[in-house]
Structure formats: C-alpha cells, structure tokens
Structure 1
Amino acid sequence: MSDATGRPLTEQERAVLRHLLSAPIEGAQALRDQVEAATAEGAWDDGDGPSLDLVVPASAPAAPLADGLVPVDAAVTGPDGEFAGELLLWLQDGRLAALEYAWVTDDAPTALPAVSEITVTAR
C-alpha cells in the first residue's frame, strides 16, 4: 500500500462511493472509512475511459474481502429511465482500488451518474 497521493476526490465522487457502500456487505464500514481518506489518480474525462483509480493510505483499515469486485450491484438508469450501465468498485488488498462505469449506451459517459440514478443492492 502506498501513502495517499493524487488529487482529492470530488464531492460527487465521494457521494457515489458512499452510496455504493450503503449496501449491507461485510467490511462496509472499513470501506466507508477508506472513502474519507482516499484520493484519486486521473479524471473521468482524461481519455482513459470512464474510470477512476483510487489511492487509499496504508494506514487505513483493510476490509476483510478478497481482491476483485466489491459485492454490490450498482445499476445506472439514464434520464429516460432506461438501463444505462453499471458501476463497478474494485478492491486490492482490502482497500478501494478503482471505480469503473460499464456503460451500454452509444456514447461513453463523461461524468459519474447522479446518486439518484444508481440502484445499489448487495450480492
């Protein structure tokens, strides 16, 4: 684990992460605590697609979860009410590592969806 570097998370990024971690899953509190300490590398519109690398300081408590996806489903609904994709939250060594938007629309999203457009359920 590295010390937190990068830029501060935006309020929208924090709100989305908190919303994704509102589901009743093992380790959710540790992950919510990590959101408050996390920083970001890159931006949604940096040309790397709709994703964001997260950096959590080594001093943050790790969640007791395996590497890979946080066990939540986060469906995104567009302004027209149609399914627009899903958000994927990745872990490495029990710490938040990345947030990815897997879209199904013709155009790639250039920003995170509003919290009101995200339906979160535990897996």
Structure 2
Amino acid sequence: MFPSARYRRFRRDERALLDALLDSQESGFDRLRAQLATASYKAPWFPGSMSFEIHVADGPRYAAADPVPEGEGLIVRAQQVYQPGAEKTDAAVIGNVFLWVTDGIITGLEYAAATDRPPTSLPEPSQLGD
C-alpha cells in the first residue's frame, strides 16, 4: 500500500537514477536498496529544483562505517555527471549527484550543477561517473 497522498511514486527517471546510485557492493547498500521498496518522492528542495527529499516508510537502517551524530545527514554516494554522449573527462563534467542518508534512512537526492546553468532534468544513469 502506498503511504500517503502527500507523497508520490518515483517517476521512471528518478527511480532509474536511485537504482544506479545504489548499484554497488559497498557495505550496507543492500539495506539502502531494500528501503526503496517503501520509498517515495516527498518534495523538491525548492521550486524548480531537480534535488528532492525522499520519504521511506519502512526498511532496514543503514549503518555508516564511522559514527554520525543523530539527525545529521551523511552523503553515502557521490558521482560526477557528464554531458550526454560525451567522453568521461573533466572537461565534460556538468554536475554531481549525491545520495543523502539521515539516521540510517535515505532522505534525499541532490543534483548540483557544475556550470552557471541549473539543471532542468535529472541525468540518465549512463551520464554518471564510474
């Protein structure tokens, strides 16, 4: 059952990006992937933003390797974003994506531009760095 009318299901591009960011064998990422089963889109960071908050209704908690103070956010994944179809070089970087976790729960996806232009859409998984 879907949690609340105020949250919505992820769009295809949002879910594809989250899946790509969590496609790792890093310790604890299996717990973060499990959280996506009950996760939903909560709200943009600000009007027009591609960055958004995530609501997780239930799931196992992620445990960071180093202690994090309660209530403090932690970036568990950061990847560069490259121009579509471009070779993955420093000159082709157009931004960065960050996956945020607070108290062991996924809480946000941040897409930060590396240019003067704010992003108007999320990147495709193929645009992410290795």
Structures share fold, TM-score greater than 0.5: yes
Is 1:9 the counterpart of 2:10? The answer is yes
- How far apart, CA to CA, are the structure 2 residues paired with 1:4 and 1:63? 21
Superposition deviation, residue 48 in structure 1 = 5.3
Structure 2 residue identity aligned to 1:54: I
Stretches of 4+ aligned residues off by more than 3 angstroms: none
Give the match's secondary structure for 2:129.
strand
How do residues 1-123 of structure 1 correspond to structure 2 at under 5 angstroms? 4-5=3-4, 6-43=7-44, 47=47, 49-57=49-57, 59-65=58-64, 66=68, 67-70=73-76, 72-79=77-84, 81=86, 82-120=92-130
What TM-score, normalized to structure 2? 0.78
- Check whether the contact 1:30–1:63 (CA below 8 A) recurs between aligned residues: yes
- Check whether the contact 2:80–2:129 (CA below 8 A) recurs between aligned residues: yes
5+ residue gaps, structure 1, are none
Among the aligned pairs, what percent are the same residue? 30
Give the match's secondary structure for 1:18.
helix
What TM-score, normalized to structure 1? 0.82
Superposition deviation, residue 29 in structure 1 = 0.6
Larger RCO, structures 1/2 (Cα 8 Å, 6+ apart): 1
Larger Rg: 2
CA RMSD of aligned residues (A): 2.1
